[in-house]
Amino acid sequence: MDLELQMSKQTLKQLESLLGMIRIKKDWTLVNIANVAEVDEANKTLSFSNGEELKVDPEYWDAFITKFRSRQ
């Protein structure tokens, strides 16, 4: 594996371990739970206060929704 890619993955794993950050996509998209304004559970979509929407990959949904609910 390319050293730069390996280091990037390690950095992303460290970010994910920070309080409030969670991976939602295979491409390592991370979100801060505190920035999520609304969750559409039927469509597995997140909305943010700036109007941006992101869809959570199915394999990351359970981990995301568990962490999201625990913050409330």
pTM of the predicted protein model: 0.75
pLDDT of residue 36: 96
Q: Counting Cβ atoms within 10 Å, is residue 22 exposed (0-12), middle (13-18) or buried (19+)?
A: buried
Domains of the chain: 3-71 (2.40.50.1020)
Q: What does the pLDDT average to over 37-57?
A: 97
> Is there a contact between 30 and 24 (Cβ–Cβ < 8 Å)?
yes
pLDDT of residue 4: 64
pLDDT tens column, 4-45: 656 577 776 776 666 778 899 998 898 999 999 999 999 999
| Local structure of 14: helix, strand or coil | helix
pLDDT of residue 33: 92
